[in-house]
Amino acid sequence: MEDIDIWRAAEQMRTLYGEDAGIEAGVRADKALHQGDIVGCKVWKRIVDAIGELERKAPKAGEAVN
| Series of mean pLDDT values for 10-residue runs along the chain (66 residues) | 97 98 98 98 98 89 78
Q: Which amino acid is at 1?
A: M
Q: Is the pTM of this model over 0.75?
A: yes
Q: What is the DSSP letter of 58?
A: S
What was the pLDDT predicted at 51? 98
CA dist., res. 48 & res. 27, Å (int): 10
3-state secondary structure of 63: coil
